[in-house]
Amino acid sequence: NLPKLARLLREAGAGDKLLLAGGVIPEEDRPLLEEAGVDRTFTMGSDTRDIVAYLNEWWAQQLAADA
């Protein structure tokens, strides 16, 4: 249960960790997952380049925030 995992991460002080979801995710569930703390959802057929681009962007933001 990803919303529960997101909540537990926040409660443990680890809310800054990247939480992704992928696979068969109904379109109507995507906003609910993101509202619950899932950083990004990728559905079946997502282009690997899009996933890598998202990861690179997220990582760059983390590095900039730590600078």
Domain with residue 9: its CATH number is 3.40.50.280
Please state the domain count of the chain: 1
Q: Given a cut of 90, is residue 67 above it in pLDDT?
A: no
pTM, full prediction: 0.79
pLDDT digits (tens, 9 = 90+) for 19-58: 999 999 999 999 999 999 999 999 999 999 999 999 999 9
Q: Answer positive or negative: Cα dihedral of 23, 24, 27, 33.
A: negative
User: For residue 1, what pLDDT is reported?
Assistant: 83
Q: How far apart are the C-alpha atoms of 3 and 8, rounded to whole Å?
A: 9
Q: Domain range spanning residue 7? A: 2-66
User: For residue 27, what pLDDT is reported?
Assistant: 92
